[in-house]
Structure 1
Amino acid sequence: MVWRSAGVSWRDGVPGLRWDGGRAGSRVSALGYGRVIGFRAVGERRCPGARGNVCPLGALVGGRSTGGRCAECARLDRAHSVAADTLLDDPRPYRVYLAWFGPGLVKVGITREERGDARLLEQGAVAFSWLGRGPLMAARRTEEVLRHALAVPDRIPYARKRAVRTALPPAAEREGEVAELYARAVGVGAWAETLERLECEVHDHVAAFRLDGLPPLDASVVELVPDGVVAGRLLAAAGPDLHLLDRDGRHLALDTRLLSGWGIESAPAGLPVSVPLGFGDGQEQLF
């Protein structure tokens, strides 16, 4: 039986790896901090499809693609997302949030209210505050107004998020920066009239991610390769990223979106890492 990874999921603030076993169904493996894990990639990396549909082409996907889908399936997935503005008649309430990933790394976004802070955990937000709640289009309009008024991006690359996780300021400074940005946001006019403004309450995910005491990052996994092994002790998890300490004492980051489409088999946790790694100086090496 070959299982295929569906990435990290966050439930009740706890990370787990989702797996698709085809006819065998799906499952979630709990990720316990301090646990030693190991796996290898097998076969070829193929598009897993989109929206519950199998890729009709069974297309091969490049090893460095974090999207993990072929162009056609990526378009299908995007077309049915909130970000594409195609769900205009969704009656469910949405929330606008202010997410903080590190000093100077801030974005405004929206999420369905029923999801709670799951979207923030999935993005690796270190701290956040809700801004408002209301209908989808009111939330979307307010998001756009605030994004331009505060001069913040609609997305932040994960490489930049990883780079600051090991040197975060104290909790009081994190809270203060979010509170200051919240005050600027509520001072912006032109919020949608049907959006209910929410009080500032800063939520911090450092404990959930286990980021306190995280050592400096030595390298990141660039891609998986056939029979390539990733193994180490789990130090932390944030968004789709796993932070591992390998047998040589290196702190490595693995973006689990790189696992999508690969067959994954367990491997002895003591094996050396044998996939391409990227370093801060732009060099790359295969161990």
Structure 2
Amino acid sequence: MAQAWKCSGLRWVAGGPVLVWDGGRRTALTWGKRVAFGVAEGGGRTCVGARGHACPVRAAVPGRSTGARCEECARLDRAHSVAADTIADDPRPYRVYLAWFGPGMVKVGITAEERGSARLLEQGAVCFSWLGTGPLMAARRTEELLRAALGVPDRIPYVEKRAVRARLPGAAGERAAEITELHGRAVALGGWPESLTPAPCRPVDHVDAFGLEGLPAAVGAVSELVAGGAVGGRLVAAAGPDLHLETGAGSVLVLDTRLMTGWELVAARGEEVTVPVRQFRAPSGVQFGLF
């Protein structure tokens, strides 16, 4: 029987994206690398637990869930989340940022200063700039100020980010134009908390880090994994949690690595995809079916 592994998700480190497996093993991902795995037969997807603790009942979770947590573990994880606004006494300094994902898609957010740009890589931000640094609640108030005064959202769905990655402007200056304009409007607003130190507009571009230059348009995305299914392809790009894989048929599919968590995965060969796929455009007659 083939050895099975459980994936903890995609992480962004100094050298690029890596897949992390239970037990601490890591698989570095480089452009052109073959990514191939099968889902163990006869099993199901189980809750990944919360905050480093296993789910006490190993609850079953839906294949299409990107969180891979049961209701109770999801509630526990959310209860200790800065994003959920449930922590007000975190003493660490926080940064406010503007992130750009494509034309007309700019969001505002916050991240702990010690994390550097990791949060932006995890979200798949094509371009970003810092706005300021200060205590958590000051950063949170600044985020709310921009949402209310400038209409900048704090969330953009991944499906919208994926849809434009192959059609981004070719010049870094064009990609930075929207956040540069918004940065100027943001710092001109009154009402910034005194404890938040503004930062100059210095756009950081992630096109090279993600491998998006010349990226072929994806024809679809894996919608879920299923027992006995397989995913295989050559890695052509990665952004946020997404892998863009060129299959044996020459078409590019997107795999959200959050769908891999909670499953027992085994090594596989080939470059076919035999799990459910949501098409981005009309099928071309091509079948879409560890390292």
Q: In 1, Cα distance between the equivalents of 2:125 and 2:150?
A: 18
Q: Structure 2: any 5+ residue segments left out of the alignment?
A: none
1:244-263, aligned counterparts within 5 Å? 244-263=245-264
Tell me, what secondary structure is at the counterpart of 2:6? Answer: strand
Tell me, what secondary structure is at the counterpart of 2:185? Answer: helix
Q: In 2, Cα distance between the equivalents of 1:62 and 1:54?
A: 17
Tell me, what secondary structure is at the counterpart of 1:132? Answer: strand
Tell me: CA distance 1:282–1:81, structure 2 relative to 1, closer, same or farther (3 Å): farther
Tell me, what secondary structure is at the counterpart of 1:178? Answer: helix
CA contact (8 A) 1:41 1:263 kept: yes
Give the corresponding residue for 1:159: 159
Runs of 4+ displaced beyond 4 Å: none
**Displacement after TM superposition at 1:87 (Å):** 2.0
Tell me, what secondary structure is at the counterpart of 1:83? Answer: coil
Q: 1:50 is matched by which residue type in structure 2?
A: A
Of residues 228-237 and 35-44 in structure 1, the stretch that sits farther from structure 2 once superposed is: 35-44
CA contact (8 A) 1:41 1:265 kept: yes
Q: In 1, Cα distance between the equivalents of 2:288 and 2:203?
A: 41
Q: In 2, Cα distance between the equivalents of 1:172 and 1:121?
A: 19
Tell me, what secondary structure is at the counterpart of 1:227? Answer: coil
**Displacement after TM superposition at 1:84 (Å):** 2.1
Q: What is the aligned residue count?
A: 281
Tell me: CA distance 1:282–1:188, structure 2 relative to 1, closer, same or farther (3 Å): farther
Give the corresponding residue for 2:48: 48
Q: In 2, Cα distance between the equivalents of 1:106 and 1:72?
A: 33
Tell me, what secondary structure is at the counterpart of 2:86? Answer: coil
Tell me, what secondary structure is at the counterpart of 2:167? Answer: coil
CA contact (8 A) 1:13 1:118 kept: no
1:221-240, aligned counterparts within 5 Å? 221-240=222-241
Tell me: CA distance 1:242–1:271, structure 2 relative to 1, closer, same or farther (3 Å): closer
Q: CA RMSD in A?
A: 1.4
Q: 2:60 is matched by which residue type in structure 1?
A: L
**Displacement after TM superposition at 1:191 (Å):** 1.1
Give the corresponding residue for 2:36: 38
Tell me: CA distance 1:207–1:271, structure 2 relative to 1, closer, same or farther (3 Å): closer
**Displacement after TM superposition at 1:12 (Å):** 1.3
1:68-217, aligned counterparts within 5 Å? 68-170=68-170, 171-217=172-218
Deviations 1:91-134 (A, max 9, x none): 11100000000001110000000000000000000000000000
Deviations 1:178-234 (A, max 9, x none): 211111111222111100000110000000000000011111001000011100000
Q: In 2, Cα distance between the equivalents of 1:223 and 1:91?
A: 39
Q: Structure 1: any 5+ residue segments left out of the alignment?
A: none
Give the corresponding residue for 1:14: 16
Tell me, what secondary structure is at the counterpart of 2:35? Answer: strand
Q: In 1, Cα distance between the equivalents of 2:271 and 2:204?
A: 38
Q: In 2, Cα distance between the equivalents of 1:225 and 1:265?
A: 13
CA contact (8 A) 1:91 1:136 kept: yes
Q: 1:29 is matched by which residue type in structure 2?
A: T
Give the corresponding residue for 1:27: 25
Deviations 1:120-165 (A, max 9, x none): 0000000000000000010011111112222122211100000000
Q: In 2, Cα distance between the equivalents of 1:222 and 1:44?
A: 16
CA contact (8 A) 2:219 2:281 kept: no
CA contact (8 A) 1:13 1:121 kept: no
After TM superposition, the score normalised by the length of structure 2 is 0.94
**Displacement after TM superposition at 1:282 (Å):** 8.8
Q: 1:64 is matched by which residue type in structure 2?
A: R
Q: 1:107 is matched by which residue type in structure 2?
A: K
Tell me, what secondary structure is at the counterpart of 2:272? Answer: coil
CA contact (8 A) 2:272 2:288 kept: no
Tell me, what secondary structure is at the counterpart of 1:160? Answer: helix
Tell me, what secondary structure is at the counterpart of 1:180? Answer: helix
**Displacement after TM superposition at 1:27 (Å):** 1.4
CA contact (8 A) 2:106 2:178 kept: no
